[in-house]
Amino acid sequence: MPVMLRDFDTRVSCISTDEESNKNEPLIQFVRFASIVMAVKKQSLLEGELKNADYMSILSGGGNSSVFKKNDIIDYSYPTGISVIDYPLAYEINIVNEKGEKIGKRVCYGIQAGTFNVITGSTQSFKTTLGIQMCANIAYANNGNVIHYDAENRLVVQRVKNLTKLPESWFSGDAPRYQIRGGAIGFDTLQHDITEIAMNKIKYKNILLKDTGVVDGNNKPIYLMPPTVIFLDSISNVIAKEYNVESKDFMNDMGEIRGNADGMRNAKTLRGVLTDLNPLMKEANIIIITIAHKGTNISAGVMPQAKQFQYGKQDEKISGGKALEYGASALMNFTNFGSESSRYHMDSDGFEGNTILFEPLKVSTNESGNAKSGLGFEIIIDKRKNGVDNLRTLVQLLVAKGRLKGNKANYKVCDEKGEVISKNFSWKHIYEDFENDKETCRAFMIAAKEELEKFISRADDTAGTINPFDINATIIDLDAIAPVSDAA
């Protein structure tokens, strides 16, 4: 009996619920109908507004689509302070107004903001010297900072101070602008550090954003945070996982490190790190410049393989694998000539130094190439004092371009027609000569600038000239011309 009563109560409850639903059904149907009418009306109004709209307005739903929300790609680069590097990496952009009319041009010199870049080369090609100076120059000129990872653990701090010539304050304090880190450097450390820096910069973006003083391609001011330049020396010495010698698991960690020492494993780790960091680097204006040593591709002699880079050599292999090949904005190759004629001595030249060759093997902003393709630039290195010797480097450029007459004891600047336009100056005493003769120095600088500007990637005025190739249309056009030619 209790069961029957329970079942009866349930049936009654269900009946009463169904009756209540039946009473509300007209109201529910009305609400549904009203919603449909409103949706149709809204759609009709939108279609009416877009009836005469252009294709992209329709595609973006009248401007409401998230697909087409503005996400600016900023054209901005930082000069490295080495002219024969900055100009071969340089590119020009057109500046247009709101009507799309060209109103000017702007040139971006050097390393792109927020990118990953690689310095490579043979041993004793002054890669560390060049990297230190490039990073310091970018940071100092733009109120930024440098984090220098000495993964090779052989850095002399005083050497860094001598090369950069930065104020002593840059190396002191709890948070120095030029931070040097040594010891065991792992990919996990790099990822953690760079992510932390990026998040701090993004958190205080409104405070850190500064007007760069230039405009973008749409004539709008470019605002950027000061650059953080990461210098990693070198990628081949970064371990897959960092260890702690004071940890009780130290020996287990070391075993794992030995197991991960294979280059392919490290390359895979690097690829993952770059994939994660690239968006943050762009957003927070973090530039990475890493050294990647060159080695010999031993398999090239047994079974010929394709070159790692188009303008590299077949028997050369750069540490880091495909991550460097695909991820680098600029891959800069440096070669030490090694011959006695490429060395300089105090007695004969006024300094102790060497000549190295710079080649932009892979560049995203300009033409890639090597010395054979016409993109090889000699850089003079002062080993004891200045690092890169910019003046004597420009002398080598002008000699190669035929803009200097005479010899090292008696140079004269020529114009593009070969006419002498300056007084004498010498290789050995060039700094003293230019200090005493400003006019000759000016003529020299103008000639160097004229030659360097020939390497800039120009923005041609091609807007609106698109004409997709159509072989059938070409034949029809030619057939229409043919009878006229035959009649003639």
Mean pLDDT (whole number) for 99-103: 92
Question: What are the backbone angles phi and psi of residue 111, rounded to the nearest 5°?
Answer: -90, 135
Give Cβ neighbours of residue 16 (< 8 Å, ≥ 6 apart). none
Domain boundaries, given as residue ranges, for the chain: 33-65, 78-400
Give Cβ neighbours of residue 128 (< 8 Å, ≥ 6 apart). 155, 233, 291
Span of 132-146, 197-211, 319-333, 456-470 with lowest mean pLDDT: 319-333
Mean pLDDT (whole number) for 339-368: 95
% the chain with pLDDT above 70: 77
> Given a cut of 80, is residue 183 above it in pLDDT?
yes
> Given a cut of 60, is residue 264 above it in pLDDT?
no
Report the distance separating Cα 238 and Cα 290, nearest Å: 11
Report the distance separating Cα 420 and Cα 403, nearest Å: 9
The residue that leads in pLDDT, 159 or 14, is: 159
Pairing of strands 228-233, 286-296: parallel
* Among 408, 335, 394, residue whose Cα is nearest residue 370: 335
Mean pLDDT (whole number) for 112-136: 95
Largest CA distance in the chain: 125
Report the distance separating Cα 35 and Cα 486, nearest Å: 72
- Tokens at residue 217, please? 């391609």
Give Cβ neighbours of residue 403 (< 8 Å, ≥ 6 apart). 413, 414, 416, 447, 448, 451
Report the distance separating Cα 454 and Cα 456, nearest Å: 6
Mean pLDDT (whole number) for 410-421: 97
Supply the pLDDT for residue 226: 98
Q: 78-400 sits in which CATH class?
A: alpha beta
Mean pLDDT (whole number) for 90-102: 94
Report the distance separating Cα 240 and Cα 248, nearest Å: 19
> Given a cut of 90, is residue 375 above it in pLDDT?
yes
Contact 187, 153 (CB under 8 A): no
Cis peptide before 66 (omega within 30 of 0): no
pLDDT bin (cut points 50, 70, 90) of residue 236 is: confident
Report the distance separating Cα 230 and Cα 273, nearest Å: 14
% the chain with pLDDT above 90: 61
3-class secondary structure per residue, the chain = CHHHHHHHHHHHHHHHHHHHHHHHHHHHHHHHHHHHHHHHHHHHHHHHHHCCCCHHHHHCCCCCCHHHCCCCCCCCEECCCCHHHHCCCCEEEEEECCCCCEEEEEEECCEECCCEEEEEECCCCCHHHHHHHHHHHHHHHCCCEEEEEECCCCCCHHHHHHHHCCCHHHHCCCCCCEEEECCCCEHHHHHHHHHHHHHHHHHCHHHHCEEEEEECCCCCEEEECCCEEEEEECHHHCECCCCCCCCCCHHHHHHHHHHCCCHHHHHHHHHHHHHHHHHHHHHHCEEEEEEEEEEECHHHCCCCCCCCCCCCCCCEEECCCHHHHHHCCEEEEEEECCCHHHEECHHHHCCCEEEEEEEEEEECCCCCCCHHHCCCEEEEEECCCCEECHHHHHHHHHHHCCCEEEECCEEEEECCCCCECCCCECCCCHHHHHHHCHHHHHHHHHHHHHHHHHHCECCCCCCCCCCCCCHHHHHHHHHHHHHHHHHC
Q: Write the pLDDT tens digit of every residue in 283-330.
A: 999 999 999 988 766 555 555 566 655 655 666 778 777 777 788 999
How many residues are given for the chain? 488
Mean pLDDT (whole number) for 139-148: 98
Supply the pLDDT for residue 184: 86
Supply the pLDDT for residue 263: 46
Neighbours of 221 (CB within 10 A): 10
* Among 209, 215, 214, 204, residue whose Cα is nearest residue 227: 209
Q: At what angle do helices 157-164 and 127-141 cross, to 10 degrees?
A: 60
- Tokens at residue 50, please? 């877009």
Report the distance separating Cα 275 and Cα 260, nearest Å: 20
The residue that leads in pLDDT, 373 or 259, is: 373
Supply the pLDDT for residue 385: 86
Give Cβ neighbours of residue 488 (< 8 Å, ≥ 6 apart). none
Q: Write the pLDDT tens digit of every residue in 29-44.
A: 656 766 776 666 566 6
- pTM for the complete prediction? 0.82
Report the distance separating Cα 186 and Cα 188, nearest Å: 5
Neighbour-count burial of 137, counting CB atoms closer than 10 A to its CB (0-12 exposed, 13-18 middle, 19+ buried): buried
